[in-house]
Amino acid sequence: ALSRSLDMMKMFLVRCPACMRNLRIPFCYMTCSPQQTDFLVPVNHVPATHTLKKGHKLVTDMKFYLSKDFVDKVYASCRDVVSPSTNDRVMGLFCGDWGAARCTGERLFNYLGNFEVNGHTPINIQYQYLKDLEESPEGIIPLNQTAQPCNLELEGSIACSCADCQSSCPVIPDTWDAPGKPWIMFGYDGLAVAMALTAVLCSVSFLVIFAYCHKRNKRYTAVMVE
């Protein structure tokens, strides 16, 4: 069941190896870690019906304690990944009704672990997010692994592209220079003084041209009368 779920997840995340690797961590630790009791707590179980497992109980619902910092970093590595089949952000599928725009790390894991809305999870997983060990119930150590940033290369694979990882996009240099000392003219703001002088010069030029044309027109009229 785990292998099928991861294979299906990989179909959508194949363009960003770091995201796939990070999302796979909790599921692998939940299934295979010898320290499961540190971060997993069964909530509900039913008697096993399989002949070879009679007398055992099957867990149907459990709590999974995760470091909130780890969850946020996993989401950050997957946030911008685009599905090759739909050309839309994968988080629109992985976050359920929240969609890509309102998705967060906690909402992502809540959807992935909710058996009622996500039929691909074999059991219902109640994710619990802890900021530090002080918040942990007695005997609980939340799972906290290293989440690979999407703009860094993994061994045997390349970093996620700019289309799937904003951190991989080249930084456009800011050519705007920081303002220096203010420009002062005659004790006032230089730009304001320059604009005022320009307005005065334009007004004077207009008046001179107007007076010249008016005087010339009067002379022309006098000659015509004579």
Residue 9 neighbours by CB distance under 10 Å: 19
Is the pTM higher than 0.75? Answer: no
* Rounded Cα distance, 102 and 169, in Å: 23
Q: What is the DSSP letter of 168?
A: G
Element (H, E) at 44: strand 40-47
- pLDDT value of residue 52: 56
pLDDT string in tens for the chain (226-residue length): 667 777 788 888 988 999 999 999 999 999 889 999 999 999 988 887 765 566 678 888 999 999 999 999 999 999 999 988 888 999 998 999 999 999 999 999 999 999 888 877 878 999 999 988 777 888 899 999 999 999 998 888 889 999 999 999 988 776 655 566 777 777 778 778 788 888 888 888 888 887 778 777 766 565 555 5
- pLDDT value of residue 91: 93
Among 172, 40, 59, which Cα is nearest to 115's? Answer: 59
> Where does residue 4 rank: exposed (0-12), middle (13-18), buried (19+ CB within 10 A)?
exposed
- pLDDT value of residue 226: 53
- pLDDT value of residue 156: 80
Contact 18, 149 (CB under 8 A): yes
- pLDDT value of residue 137: 87
- pLDDT value of residue 175: 61
